[in-house]
Structure 1
Amino acid sequence: MDIKRFPEKMGDLPIDFSNPKRTLISGLFQETAKVGGQPRKFLTYIPEDLDYCQPCLVAAIPSGEKPEEYLETSGLKAFAEDKKLFLHLATPETAWNADGSDADYLNAIYVAIQARDFYITMQDNIYLCGIGDGSFAAHQAARRMASEWSGLMTFGDLNGDLNAEHTALRGESDQGEVELKVMGMAAQLPVWMSMTAKNADNTAAVDFWKEQNHVVGTPLSGEGADEIWMPTPVRVLSEVNEEQIAQVRLAVRENPFTKEQMEAAWSYISLARRHRGPGKKQLRYFKEPIACGAEKKTMEVDGMTRTWYEYVPKSCTPDKKWPLVVVFHGRGGTAETFFDLSCVSTVAEERHFIAVVPEAGVYQQKPNGLRNVLLWCGIYQDTPVDDVKFIRELVADVESRHSVDKSRVYAMGQSSGGMMSDLLAYTAGDIFAAVAPWSALRCPSKMYREWPACEQHVPTMMIYGDQDFLTAGHGEDPILPFCLSEELRATLMEKLETYHLDPANVETWKTEPITWYAFPDKQGVPMVVIGRVDNMVHANYPEESWISYDQFLSQFHRSENGTLYYRGRPVNESDV
């Protein structure tokens, strides 16, 4: 298969507005990862008509193979096309070695593929694969960055003792505008190992991952595996944010690398995804929207096909009116990925509301770069994308088909989705009773048009991480008991002034890991609440969805005559 060159100006490529998140290129391309400051090459295969944010598989192929030929003869090309994957082929400089440099190379690929220069991936669903003598380097890489990878599968005998790997885990690093935070910490990790025999090195690796994943008891078998080691059933912590799901599966085969073994391994490790949150990243089963019972909906707005997932619990019967919560993904994300990230369907199911997860319009993140990075209120060819119009039409469409309580329509979202949530509080108070933006507030400098301010004062609760370099400020604020970035602070102070709230009148309390700051009005109604999460980067986590709905959004509703109510009491907005 021929190796192509990436276009020099991705911005010149046309967008298919029937599917704005479709990749603009396909085929086999050469890329470079930096290892210890030195470049090393790898190949990326992008199947035709692949959508952004699909899973990535980084494969360390056997030494001595020409990657462009091995891609086809090994079945990896067909596998990527069938599973709808970004496939990244790593090759050794001569032969795979056990000194750790090749492990660093594989981990450098993890970083490189998130640059958003030619396609868009997510750090939540990147998996590692080793084939033949590439297997041990894959295990070393996974050990060094277990907290980053979502799963590991290897097909071949190991040529080193994983327990003898004493190199320190990779420290934190940032990758600028993609908000990438690499922790490199010890963590549970789904593992599949196919081998020819249980020799000493293979057994050492199995034992290491068993300890890492806290497995107990005797193994099960099935689904292509001879042994399935399960994690302990004892749960000390809640599993709202991280689920203890990492197993160790192994199969002994005369030929470890077959299509059947690949299928069996992928059917297991692809179940898990790893998401950012407080502290280290959190492993959870992937909540695929359709499998969870959501419906995919589309409409055309200004020539662009707009998409959303709609989740209606069976308890939300047409004989009653139910709240509606609109949930917005961040820059570069999709409706599918945020349905999973937010776990909003679980909250909707237990709290009995209708959840809608829409997909943003487009914009160009980098000069000459992709023009179809998904962003709320973006721009295409100097024409702003009117996402407020889209959301108004979406809400009207949902209300026309479902029994929606129009007094209890809410918005929440993260990053760009947080900005969108707060923008709707600013300009669409006739629809939204309260909003909960995460990691953001309305940022006029990051929007490409202006919207008129609405008459209503919409209650707002923002949650952000104290390690969020895009949101958290530095040092001490002269007035506020917390610090925000300059533009977010300006938006907050404008909101406090508009709502007639005293920035010095702050109620503060701590519920681990969040420190809360509430700005009440003269009636004691918390019209603006800020939550700062300890040890969290630019991220959100499932518990935020629960907190936002239970502790804030559900406390408010706006009657048909426009009166805002807090816990059933009318709010005198002239005093707000």
Structure 2
Amino acid sequence: MRIAWEGRELYCHISTKAGFDPVKTLYVCAPGADAASYEAAARFAQASGWREIAEQDGAVLVLPIVPHGWRAEDAGLLMKIYRGTRGSFPTQSGKSLYGRGGYLWCWETLIYAVGYEDGASFLGDASAACPSFFAAAALVGGVPQDYTPGERPSSHWLVENVSADYKTLNRELPVCLWLMVRERQEADAAVRYFNWSNGAQGPGCEEMFDDISATVYRAPDGGAAQVRISTGTFGPEPALARTVFSQLFERVIRWKNGPDGKLTPFMSRADFYASPRFALDSVVYGGRSYGFFVHVPEGLTAEQARGLPLVFSVHGRGEPAWMFAEKNGWDRLADETGAFLLAVPDSPENIWFLERDGGVFARMIDRLHSRYGIDRERVYLTGFSNGGMMTREAGTRYPQLFAALSPWNAPPAETWPGFAEGGWQMPCFIYLGDNDPVARGTEEPLLEQMLRANCCAAVRTAGGFVPDAIYNGENHYTAARGYTEGERFGTAVYRDAQGVPRVCVTVMKNMPHGAIHDESRAAWEFMRRYRRPGNGKAVETVPHTESTETECAKQKEERLK
């Protein structure tokens, strides 16, 4: 497909398999002669194997046309192309996510690039100038030539209005790169530069990726930030493209949870479904089958987990459960504490509607009670974005099912009419991002409802409801309590007549429409206090005298005996 953009041509292939799921954007920087015309780029896309890979994966493939060569192009070209075209790819399958008007959703978190020869050198320069743009990049037969953009402030392209103290430079941002060169010394400068960015030290380790050996330099945390070096003769062959895609692009994602995102290891759909970490189950409701993934805390058998509370983590629009399950850290927190069972439900066509889907939670609770003996009085509902909307709506439409709610970054949504007036209590922990255009400013109606439902006598002023306390990284979200990014929290706490926190509104600093693992810890610390006896209207406080981490560790130890 030929696309005109900003006076230039782009070769694009839109997979006929793309539809409801998030779409990867694959950029290919072909060698100069192959990028000089649309016809040459089209031939290269086919011969190199990338067109077929994009088709089978449900991705969008983009090859820029550079008639004057890569050296004439600005290093920010690919980012400009993405921003200018991301919403302009029409579905070829007849399937499109609700609300997208027949166009595909090319996620900011799923951007990958590969370059060959002089296209690889250009891509290397782009990786130094725009390091937070790509989740991963592969440079075949070329290396960066210009590292000077490393001294510039980052583009913080995911958060337009960063805080005054965010002063990160490009060279300080972690990357995931695979350099394929003829001789090792060709890559020495790139290795030194990007290893410093990743904080990688030591000689690296030798690993095999399909039939290609590589020296791998990983960041100290063992995560996705890494530099791979392979030596030999490499060219635009389909076998190489398949290895780059399966062994690199399908293993890393850059989550949109800060100004420059965060590189994170990632499982492909096939690997996730094959993993024993989550068990797939399903129920039928309204004539539809709803799958959901269940995670039992690591180290516990299903029998040892009997009697545990249940946490639902509900995905957002366009984000299937297999992608969402590990995103916000609920599974890791379950492993750490051994304190709850986790369920991650899937919705039809990757979107939730109260009238269609709201009743399914009762079916899932029944199934999980029969199989795992969950504590029905301690079921907690959380969700992100559209899942946060469902949390608000289903939580107030079916309040008898849940002991507490935690909607995250939820767009505007109604609570069920008569919920508060009906005498239902519902502790609620609300999350928002300070740079989230989807959800910021939508919290006031929900806050008012929840304050009334939970008998919190907060005073309302022109500036909003006055909280009883403010929690932040200095007085609550500390490293001693297990938080790694506590400085990003600002929580307004509203207490009931007994002085118990019943409603919290947390605004996360430098946060777009995303979330971090620490948010699960804080939400669990809040929700775990409550139970709903007999599924009645009142909620009781569960007594806890020790810190969350210490107490849960003791509980897990007892279960393992």
Is 2:43 the partner of 1:69? yes
2:63 maps to a residue whose letter is A
Residue 248 of structure 1: how far off its partner (Å): 1.3
Q: How many residues align?
A: 485
**What is the aligned counterpart of 2:262 among 276, 282, 290?**
282
- Provide the alpha-carbon RMSD of the alignment: 3.1
Is 2:494 the partner of 1:532? no
SS of 2:382 mapped into structure 1: strand
1:64 maps to a residue whose letter is A
- CA offsets 1:172-193 (integer angstroms, 9 cap, x no match): 55799xxxxxx99551111101
- The aligned counterpart of 2:108 is 123
Give the 5 Å matches for 1:368-517.
374-377=350-353, 385-440=355-410, 443-444=413-414, 453=419, 455-472=423-440, 485=441, 487-504=442-459, 506-511=468-473, 512-517=487-492
SS of 1:222 mapped into structure 2: strand
Residue 46 of structure 1: how far off its partner (Å): 0.8
- The aligned counterpart of 1:92 is 65
Relative to structure 1, the CA distance from residue 191 to residue 441 in structure 2 (aligned partners, 3 Å threshold; closer, same or farther) is closer
Q: Is the 8 A contact 1:308 1:335 kept in 2?
A: yes
Distance 1:31 1:297 in 2: 43
- The aligned counterpart of 1:46 is 15
- CA offsets 1:301-347 (integer angstroms, 9 cap, x no match): 33444332222235153363111111112222221221131122212
SS of 1:340 mapped into structure 2: coil
Is 2:348 the partner of 1:358? no
Is 2:110 the partner of 1:135? no
Give the 5 Å matches for 1:251-266.
251-266=230-245
- CA offsets 1:129-159 (integer angstroms, 9 cap, x no match): 112331122222222221231111121224x
- CA offsets 1:442-492 (integer angstroms, 9 cap, x no match): 623xx9xx66636421100112222223333xxxxxxxxxxxx2x421221
Distance 2:390 2:278 in 1: 22
Distance 2:438 2:53 in 1: 38
Structure 2 gaps, min length 5: 35-39, 88-99, 161-167, 460-466, 474-486, 545-561
Give the 5 Å matches for 1:9-408.
30-31=2-3, 33=5, 40-48=9-17, 52-53=21-22, 55-65=24-34, 66-81=40-55, 84-101=57-74, 103-112=75-84, 114-115=86-87, 118-158=103-143, 161-165=145-149, 168=152, 171-172=155-156, 185-186=170-171, 187-198=173-184, 202-224=187-209, 227-231=214-218, 233=220, 244-266=223-245, 267-286=247-266, 289-290=272-273, 291=275, 293-313=277-297, 315=300, 317-318=302-303, 320-352=306-338, 353-361=340-348, 374-377=350-353, 385-408=355-378
Q: Is the 8 A contact 2:71 2:122 kept in 1?
A: yes
SS of 2:494 mapped into structure 1: strand
Q: TM-score, normalised by structure 2?
A: 0.77
Relative to structure 1, the CA distance from residue 114 to residue 348 in structure 2 (aligned partners, 3 Å threshold; closer, same or farther) is farther
Distance 2:344 2:279 in 1: 10
**Percent of pairs identical after alignment?**
19
Relative to structure 1, the CA distance from residue 337 to residue 451 in structure 2 (aligned partners, 3 Å threshold; closer, same or farther) is farther
Relative to structure 1, the CA distance from residue 337 to residue 170 in structure 2 (aligned partners, 3 Å threshold; closer, same or farther) is same
- CA offsets 1:215-242 (integer angstroms, 9 cap, x no match): 2222332315555242454x6xxxxxxx
Distance 1:336 1:561 in 2: 30
Residue 558 of structure 1: how far off its partner (Å): 1.5
- CA offsets 1:241-275 (integer angstroms, 9 cap, x no match): xx654221122222344445434433135322111
Residue 47 of structure 1: how far off its partner (Å): 4.8
Q: Is the 8 A contact 2:433 2:514 kept in 1?
A: yes
Moved more, 277-286 or 112-121: 112-121
Residue 554 of structure 1: how far off its partner (Å): 1.0
SS of 1:430 mapped into structure 2: helix
Relative to structure 1, the CA distance from residue 321 to residue 167 in structure 2 (aligned partners, 3 Å threshold; closer, same or farther) is closer
Relative to structure 1, the CA distance from residue 537 to residue 87 in structure 2 (aligned partners, 3 Å threshold; closer, same or farther) is closer
SS of 2:202 mapped into structure 1: coil
Distance 2:146 2:213 in 1: 21
SS of 1:524 mapped into structure 2: coil
SS of 2:69 mapped into structure 1: coil
Distance 1:151 1:561 in 2: 48
Distance 1:412 1:559 in 2: 20
Q: Is the 8 A contact 2:358 2:394 kept in 1?
A: yes
Answer 1 or 2: which has greater helix percent.
Answer: 2
Distance 1:403 1:114 in 2: 46
Distance 1:32 1:457 in 2: 56
- CA offsets 1:19-41 (integer angstroms, 9 cap, x no match): xxxxxxxxxxx44555xxx5642
SS of 2:254 mapped into structure 1: strand
Relative to structure 1, the CA distance from residue 33 to residue 398 in structure 2 (aligned partners, 3 Å threshold; closer, same or farther) is farther
1:492 maps to a residue whose letter is L
Q: Is the 8 A contact 2:219 2:225 kept in 1?
A: no
Q: Is the 8 A contact 1:56 1:87 kept in 2?
A: yes
SS of 1:501 mapped into structure 2: coil
1:41 maps to a residue whose letter is L
Relative to structure 1, the CA distance from residue 42 to residue 392 in structure 2 (aligned partners, 3 Å threshold; closer, same or farther) is farther
Distance 1:205 1:99 in 2: 21
Structure 1 gaps, min length 5: 4-29, 177-182, 236-242, 363-373, 379-384, 473-484, 570-576
Give the 5 Å matches for 1:517-528.
517-528=492-503
Q: TM-score, normalised by structure 1?
A: 0.76
